[in-house]
Amino acid sequence: MRRSVIVAPVALALLAATACGAPSERGSETTEGEGPLSVGATAVPAGDILRFVESELAPGAGLDLEITEYSDYIAPNAALAEGQLDVNLYQHEPFLLEYNEGNGTDLVAVERIYLPPLGLYSKSVDELSELEAGSEIALPNDPTNEFRALLLLEEGGLITLAEGADEASFSLSDIEENPFDLDFREVEAAQLPRSLDDVDAAIVNNNYAQEAGLDFEKDSILLEVVEDNPYVNILAARPDNVDDPRVATLAELLTSPETVRFIEETYQGSVIPVASE
């Protein structure tokens, strides 16, 4: 089966961020550098990677982790901003900046960890060229991932976006050319794998694709690759704890040769550790 692979463009608009509440306004927090480090993550691959670090590397580094898994993209940032978490791992920096802009928070990126390539998946066709005119395509409905999805379709030659369109202000009306008369359905990211039974194809975030058992090689008909890709997932913290030595230790363990090897062997190219570049 033939698979189209593209390079996502590097085009990020920096978003302004306003300060979140002071530590005293948030939930109870441990003294910096002491006690377990609470980490929020989506189950795959972030949760798997963190559990590997927790069992294989953290004890030797004197780090105690408390891992909480989430099924959506909003709750981990809300919990981090409110002090219920110390750090989280699940999002790329454009999403974090968008969250800050929309919620008056100032969460910060600590370290780039891995790239989960975005893909166009289908149960009805095996190749991109088999998509017919009028096909229905499901897209993630959060702004940064929807714009990322449209960039993927543009690089695949399916649409053309209006000049100057960017993730800070775009809408579907910014699709200037739609030669295949594609119909777009905006769907919550977590529901995109289920939508494949009802649409011709769907652009599915990597974590949800893996949870649903979608095969990176067999089921995708269009994919991003690593080079110059701005959508690398990051370890995120707050300004008041970004210098916590426990956070630095976790960042070091997540980018260690042992973790890189675990990611490469476990995901076989469907998740790419940044430290291996």
Specify if 150 maps to a domain.
Answer: yes
Are 184 and 168 within one domain?
A: yes
pTM for the complete prediction? 0.84
| Pair (48, 179) in one structural domain | no
Question: What pLDDT does 16 receive?
Answer: 34
Largest CA distance in the chain: 59
Residues 200 and 258 in one domain: no
Is 51 domain-assigned? yes
Same-domain status, 124 and 193: yes
In a domain, 144, yes or no: yes
| pLDDT for res 216 | 82
Whether 4 is covered by a domain: the verdict is no
Residue 85, number of CB atoms within 10 A of its CB: 26
Q: Are 46 and 98 found together in one domain?
A: yes
Residue 126 shares a structural domain with residue 91: no
Specify the CATH number for the domain of residue 178: 3.40.190.10
Nearest of 33, 40, 18 to residue 236 by alpha carbon: 40
Answer yes or no: do 28 and 160 share one domain: no
Q: Which structural domain range is residue 136 located in?
A: 118-224
- Domain annotation covers residue 9: no
Same domain, 153 and 220: yes
Distance CA 144, CA 105 (A): 17
Is 66 part of any domain?
yes
- Amino acid 277: pLDDT: 65
Same domain, 98 and 29: yes
In the chain, the number of structural domains is 2
Burial class from Cβ neighbours inside 10 Å (0-12, 13-18, 19+) for residue 158 reads buried
The span from the CA of 67 to the CA of 51, in Å, is 8
Question: Does residue 5 fall inside a structural domain?
Answer: no
How many whole angstroms from its chain centre is CA 246?
23
For residue 2, being part of any structural domain is answered with no
> Per residue of the chain (277 residues), what is the pLDDT tens digit?
334 444 433 333 333 333 333 333 433 344 567 899 999 999 999 999 999 999 999 999 999 999 999 999 999 999 999 999 999 999 999 999 999 999 999 999 999 999 999 999 999 999 999 999 999 999 999 999 999 999 999 999 999 999 999 888 889 999 999 999 999 999 999 999 999 999 999 999 999 999 999 988 888 999 986 788 999 999 999 999 999 999 999 999 999 999 999 999 999 989 999 987 6
Q: Residue 10: what pLDDT?
A: 35
16 contacts 101 by C-beta, under 8 angstroms: yes
Show which of 181, 198, 224 is a domain's final residue: 224
